[in-house]
């Protein structure tokens, strides 16, 4: 039997390899348009981000290696252009020569996959515009970003590929904006409230996300410079089109094969409507395993499973493919997202009596280092109690939560089947009662009436109107709420009516449930627990007045909002301006934000950030959302690397270096790149263009000053009685000595003003460089920084010193002390020696992973 397979990536190569293992006598031929086969398409974004170093790591098998391993004949560079099912022939074109040939078959497998959709807009062919579908695409993106020093990129599409592309560009230090026509990110993958949480997280991580927006035109002449969208113009130096994919099935148009929107319809044995023609992978429409309805699920995982099943069918085994669950997982900065099964909306559409629960839990024993959280949304059928779907967020292994759900759904599990599941437990891995089981308990309690709750979606839709908010946290933290100390409730609660509608809110939901249970015993009839509590929801009490709690003050301070001490509930919000420079559009946005959410006043800080004055507490989150949509962020507080301050050395007549470019690079690498790294205290960086010290680099934790080191050619010195070099030295270190000009190297501040002043060119040559000060401080205790002995001439070496200084401070500083104190304590010479070697960089990963300085010393 001759089996011809069209397509050489996941489904095609899996079908061919398994078929040869099933029956070695079958002649199997794979034809593919590309030169590569069996490449890791899902790994492409991570190659762009540098997590996968070499392109060759993306190629699972070369054609030669694959043929040797499997016995399959592979013909690359061959494109299928026509199918004659009656004659059992495929017409194939050589992509290089254009020559065609006819390939006969006994059985045909179509595994042509899909290609990135191209938006029908002007400018899409400009240099700098890319798709993300093949190794060539990923190679092009990575090469272009490096060669053009790309700083701003736009990604069109907020699905899995678009978000993975954004995350990896962000990891390269590129400012990324993601736009999507849909009203939410990950449409049809996450429910709206889950998508809103993930979008907010992306914004907080520095990735701008604009939904409900369409791209209209790519701007630029010789390369992309921006994108015109329905929300305005977005400047960029790179554009990634990730707005979906389209099956590569155009050549089948006249064959009579049954299709739907370009996808090939197959039965449970992957057979098409044509005799002896089968299909698998991203080009086929299979079924949903739960509902049995048609579903397109173009994933590398399902493509491999479909191919394996199809191979067994072709070899004569009675097998069927049961369908897909739409399982997926995506890595975002600091948050992983996983899901499987039906969303709440899909389950309702399918006719189920839907009930859900959203449950934050610890992901491992809370006392174990690196313990974090899961946010789990379970979807089930109230009548049958069958699990229908799950969506999970968390910084850690969300896949293990999803995989438990996959097995449960595959086996038709009811919630009760998970109740006493004996999952693995040890503090480094899980909680004693598994996080998945904890979520199941909540949903079971909800179905059984043990807990009466309100979902975050219901809360966001206004279901809490008319309810009185009861704060059940260990300390009062919700302004305007009625506070109840759970540990002291042993009867009726003074101030709360038994028939009053009460919304019980704590940090994650557990204490509110405990209070509801207790209040029910004491006769309270209308209590409702808010699922997700303050951990997931932005809880506000309508018309709340009075002072903001200390806990909330601390929380919003970490977001860059400092309390106005003259008021009970107003704050001044710091807007980060990247060294004091902003665009006209950004300035307009800040002014608009000040009018909409603050007092209308904006002030400059000494660190060249901008503060929006008089922001009421309830306006903080809306203000941040407004600013983040424009690519602006608040912050600049806490025991972390602070925003960089810079002089205007680029335009100043004395400027020796491009201060804006250097400070922006430091801002991206260390303010953004180290945003999650806790330090013993704040760490301030200043960049000055010359030794005039306008931004006082020597009074910062680390300062960089532009240098111009003069080089004297004594043969050209005439020993003039009136020396122009001596006259032009502003600090008087250039002197005539024994008829020749001399410059005291130890005293010279390398301002460069002497260069070119000698009419006989004795001081014409110079070396541009950087001087680095460490250990400066301004405040209650003043410490003047001391410069390292070396004058640096390589910018990359300067950036490495900055990173090593931060790492040294984190590793060897004592919580609460400033860098100046660290330098004084361990000695300048010791610090200098460490900064000039690479040992700190070698320990970087271990250093950053360490649980240190969880409470630093910065109070502003």
Residue 693 vs residues 580, 688, 706, 749, 766: alpha-carbon distances, Å: 16, 6, 10, 11, 21
Q: Helices in 575-685 by DSSP H: which ranges?
A: 584-597, 620-629, 659-666
Percent helix, strand, coil in the chain, to 5, is 30, 25, 45
Report the alpha-carbon distance of residue 326 to residue 301 in Å, rounded: 10
Nearest-angstrom CA–CA distance, 240 and 817: 45
Active site residue 652: no
SS3 306: helix
- Residues with Cβ within 8 Å of 219's Cβ and at least 6 positions away in sequence, in order, are 123, 225, 226, 227, 228, 233
Question: What does residue 301 show for φ and ψ, rounded to 5 degrees?
Answer: -65, -50
Q: How far is CA 450 from CA 437, 670, 801, in A?
A: 16, 49, 59
Question: How deeply is 316 buried, as exposed, middle or buried, from its count of CB atoms within 10 A (0-12, 13-18, 19+)?
Answer: exposed
Q: What strands lie across the sheet with 259-260, from one edge to the other?
A: 259-260, 263-265, 284-287, 294-295
309 Cα distance to chain centroid: 36
Is there a contact between 362 and 343 (Cβ–Cβ < 8 Å)? no
The CB density around residue 190, as the number of other CB atoms within 10 Å, is 23
Helices 300-314/10-22 angle, 10° precision: 30
Q: Are 138 and 132 in contact (CB under 8 A)?
A: yes
State the helix-helix crossing angle for 819-826 and 828-835, rounded to 10 degrees. Answer: 100
Indicate which residue of 42, 236, 506, 748 is catalytic: 42
Residue 174, Cβ density class (10 Å: 0-12 exposed, 13-18 middle, ≥19 buried): buried
CA–CA gap between residue 28 and residue 2 (Å, rounded): 6
SS3 682: coil
Q: Rounding to the nearest 10 degrees, give the CA dihedral for residues 609, 614, 620, 624.
A: -30
Annotated catalytic residues are 42
């Amino acid at each position: 039997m001759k089996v011809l397979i069209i397509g050489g990536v996941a489904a095609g190569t899996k079908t061919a390899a398994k078929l040869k293992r099933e029956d070695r006598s079958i002649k199997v031929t794979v034809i593919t348009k590309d030169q590569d086969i069996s490449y890791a398409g899902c790994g492409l974004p991570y190659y762009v981000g540098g997590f996968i170093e070499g392109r060759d790591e993306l190629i699972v098998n070369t054609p030669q290696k694959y043929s040797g391993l499997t016995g399959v004949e592979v013909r690359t560079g061959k494109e299928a252009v026509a199918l004659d099912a009656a004659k059992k022939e495929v017409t194939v074109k050589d992509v290089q020569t254009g020559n065609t040939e006819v390939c006969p078959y006994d059985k045909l497998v179509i595994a042509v996959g899909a290609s990135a959709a191209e938006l029908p807009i002007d400018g899409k062919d400009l240099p700098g515009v890319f798709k993300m579908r093949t190794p060539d695409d990923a190679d092009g993106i990575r090469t272009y970003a490096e060669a053009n020093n790309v700083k701003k990129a736009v990604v069109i599409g907020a699905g899995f590929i678009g978000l993975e592309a954004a995350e990896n560009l962000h990891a390269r230090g590129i400012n990324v904006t993601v736009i999507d026509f849909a009203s939410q990110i990950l449409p049809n993958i996450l429910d709206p409230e889950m998508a809103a949480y993930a979008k907010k997280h992306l914004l907080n991580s520095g990735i701008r996300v604009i939904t409900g927006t369409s791209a209209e035109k790519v701007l630029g002449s010789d390369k992309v410079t921006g994108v015109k969208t329905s929300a305005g113009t977005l400047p960029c130096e790179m554009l990634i089109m990730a707005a979906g994919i389209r099956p590569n099935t155009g050549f089948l148009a006249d064959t009579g094969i049954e299709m739907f929107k370009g996808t090939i319809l197959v039965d449970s044995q992957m057979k098409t409507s044509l005799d002896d023609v089968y299909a698998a992978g991203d080009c086929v429409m299979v079924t949903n395993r739960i509902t049995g309805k048609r579903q397109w699920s173009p994933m590398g995982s399902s493509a491999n499973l479909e191919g394996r099943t199809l191979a067994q069918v072709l070899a004569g085994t009675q097998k069927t493919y049961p369908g897909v669950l739409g399982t997926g997982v995506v890595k975002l900065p600091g948050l992983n997202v996983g899901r499987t099964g039906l969303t709440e909306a899909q389950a309702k559409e399918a006719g189920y009596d839907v009930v859900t629960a959203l449950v934050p839990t610890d992901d491992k024993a809370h006392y174990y280092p690196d313990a974090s959280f899961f946010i789990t949304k379970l979807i089930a059928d109230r009548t049958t109690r069958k699990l229908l779907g799950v969506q999970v967020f968390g910084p850690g292994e969300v896949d293990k939560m999803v995989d438990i759900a996959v097995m449960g759904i595959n086996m038709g599990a009811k919630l009760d089947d998970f109740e006493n599941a004996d999952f693995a437990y040890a503090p480094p891995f899980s909680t004693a009662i598994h996080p998945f089981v904890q979520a199941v308990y909540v949903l079971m309690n909800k179905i059984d009436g043990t807990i009466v709750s309100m979902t975050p979606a219901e809360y966001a839709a206004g279901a809490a109107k008319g309810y009185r908010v009861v704060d059940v946290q260990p300390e009062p933290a919700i302004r305007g709420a009625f506070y109840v100390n759970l540990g002291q409730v042993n009867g009726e609660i003074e101030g709360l009516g038994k028939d009053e509608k009460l919304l019980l809110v704590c940090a994650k939901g557990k204490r509110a449930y405990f209070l509801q249970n207790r209040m029910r015993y004491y006769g309270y009839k209308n209590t409702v627990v808010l699922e997700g509590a303050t951990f997931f929801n932005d809880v506000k009490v309508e018309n709340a007045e009075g002072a903001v709690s200390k806990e909330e003050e601390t929380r919003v301070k970490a977001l860059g909002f400092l309390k106005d001490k003259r008021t009970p509930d107003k704050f001044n919000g710091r807007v980060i301006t990247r060294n004091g420079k902003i665009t006209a559009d950004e300035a307009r946005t800040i002014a608009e934000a000040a009018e909409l959410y603050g007092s209308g006043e904006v002030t400059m800080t000494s660190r060249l950030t901008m503060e929006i004055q008089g922001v009421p507490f309830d306006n903080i989150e809306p203000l941040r959302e407004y600013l983040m949509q424009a690519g602006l962020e608040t912050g600049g507080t806490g025991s972390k690397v602070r925003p960089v301050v810079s002089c205007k050395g680029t335009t100043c007549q004395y400027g020796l270096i491009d201060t804006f470019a250097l400070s922006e690079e430091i801002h991206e690498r260390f303010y953004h790149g180290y945003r999650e790294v806790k330090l013993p205290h704040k760490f301030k960086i200043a960049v000055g263009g010359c030794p005039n010290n306008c931004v006082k680099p020597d009074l910062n934790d680390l300062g960089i000053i532009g240098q111009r080191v003069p080089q004297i050619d004594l043969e050209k010195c005439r020993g003039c009685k009136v020396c122009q070099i001596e006259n032009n030295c502003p600090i008087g270190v250039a002197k005539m000595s024994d008829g020749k000009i001399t410059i005291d190297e130890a005293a010279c501040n390398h301002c460069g003003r002497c260069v070119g002043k000698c009419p006989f060119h004795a001081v014409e040559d110079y070396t541009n460089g950087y001087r680095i000060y460490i250990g400066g401080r301004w405040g209650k205790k003043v410490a003047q920084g001391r410069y390292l002995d070396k004058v640096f001439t390589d910018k990359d070496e300067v950036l490495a010193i900055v990173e090593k200084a931060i790492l040294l401070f984190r590793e060897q500083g004592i919580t609460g002390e400033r860098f100046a104190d660290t330098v004084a304590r361990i000695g300048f010479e010791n610090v200098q020696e460490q900064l000039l070697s690479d040992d700190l960089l070698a320990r970087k990963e271990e250093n950053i992973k360490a649980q240190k300085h969880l409470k630093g010393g910065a109070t502003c």
